[in-house]
Structure 1
Amino acid sequence: MQLCTSDPIPGDYIAEKVMQLCTSDPILGEILMKFHYQNPKRLFHGILFDVLSVEAEHPKGGKMRRELVDHPGAVVILPFLNKEEILLIRNKRDIVQRTLWELPAGKLEKDESPEDCAARELVEETGYQGTKFTPLLNFFTSPGFSNELIYGYVAEDLTHVGQNLDESEEIDVEPTKLSDALQMIKEGTICDAKTICALLHFHTFQ
């Protein structure tokens, strides 16, 4: 990781990022493209994300300087073992110093499609390979300062092939009834935002 206080970025960089984020959501793309970012500079280059300083011109007039956490995007997967049972994981999260109940998830690699990322992360974190991935929902995690967009998928037709965790990961797989997972949200046992979004969206609209 390094601090890059004077690293300019090509003028079309942000527009390109916005288009990448919104290819699967035309309405969202139309909203975002009303904002034009100028003179982007990279303040920080990290392993997981960059921090940019951009000049934003609002369509109603006026300019403002904003700091932007530039994230490649991520996926969250709702894997079904059968009609009633899903896979949750218990994931040790050093940042919040807690082990959290979550759905499997992960960051997009360079030039990786969201569906390919979902398939890869499902195997890595749960040890199950899916053959059917259905889009569930897309959502921004913290649009006040980050462009991270999470793509949600339902995974079905699972086959156990074995976990392939990163060295830094500590993950236990917990088959759980969907009804029990929803109760865990109600009780506050599940407090991970992406997991709550995916589970409640599926329960409400599917």
Structure 2
Amino acid sequence: MELMEKTVERHVLFEGAIVTLRRDKAQLINGQVVSREVVEHPGGVAILPLYRDGTVSIVRQFRYPFRQVVTELPAGKLERGEDHRPAALRELEEEVGVRAGELIYLGYLYTSPGFSTEVLHMYLARDLEPGVCHPDDDEFLECERIPFDQLVEQVVSGVICDAKTVALVLKAKAYLGR
């Protein structure tokens, strides 16, 4: 059996600065036609900046959809068509104020494959040197350094529940454990 759905109709409902929302009609394997809502997103990057002393930079920022401050790793949205590696370097300096001598690609993930096209690329940054912190004009965040082991514990215990941070911390832990 080929697990495939054929798009038979596309209708753009909304085009915003970050996302486009579509309602498609898709034909299933059995011939039935169903609605599919799709959020088109240009993708993003997340970076785990690991210092020589074993600490990691985390950021805290207010996340409007949840109406609360969320603790997460530095991250950012890709511009349409932008390569993810330079974007990771840019976001690292913008949010944390450091430059990476070594940037290790740890793969990507689909953030919400049931409805979104967003692909998030994950990096481990090492050999960090001071740069210039310059967040975007609409970006307000607090940066803090904590021990990597403490960050792992916060992820495992559920204190940190940001998906990109959870995935990247566990990937980095596995990579560093090799």
Fold in common (TM above 0.5)? yes
Residue 69 (structure 1) aligned to one of 34, 39, 43? 39
SS of the residue corresponding to residue 125 of structure 1 reads helix
Corresponding residue of 1:44 = 14
Deviations 1:80-125 (CA, angstroms, capped at 9, x unpaired): 1126221111122222121111000111012210111111111111
CA 1:133–1:37 in structure 2 vs 1: closer, same or farther (change >3 Å)? farther
Letter in 1 for 2:51: L
Matched, 1:137 2:107: yes
Corresponding residue of 1:185 = 155
Instruction: Return the alpha-carbon distance in structure 1 between the equivalents of residues 115 and 55 of structure 2.
Output: 36
Matched, 1:92 2:54: no
- Aligned CA RMSD, in angstroms, stands at 2.0
Residue 200 (structure 1) aligned to one of 159, 170, 173? 170
Matched, 1:127 2:77: no
Could you tell me the TM-score, scaled by structure 2's length?
0.88
* 1:37 Cα deviation after fit: 2.6
- Following TM superposition, where does structure 1 have runs of at least 4 consecutive aligned residues deviating by more than 6 angstroms? none
Matched, 1:157 2:157: no
Instruction: Return the alpha-carbon distance in structure 2 between the equivalents of residues 90 and 187 of structure 1.
Output: 18
Instruction: Return the alpha-carbon distance in structure 1 between the equivalents of residues 28 and 90 of structure 2.
Output: 39
Unmatched tracts of structure 1, length 5 or more: 1-30
Could you tell me the TM-score, scaled by structure 1's length?
0.77
Letter in 2 for 1:80: L
SS of the residue corresponding to residue 65 of structure 2 reads coil
Instruction: Return the alpha-carbon distance in structure 2 between the equivalents of residues 100 and 37 of structure 1.
Output: 37
The answer (yes or no) to whether the contact 1:92–1:169 under 8 Å persists in 2 is no
Matched, 1:80 2:50: yes
| Number of aligned residues | 175
* 1:154 Cα deviation after fit: 0.9
Unmatched tracts of structure 2, length 5 or more: none
Corresponding residue of 1:110 = 80
Letter in 1 for 2:71: W
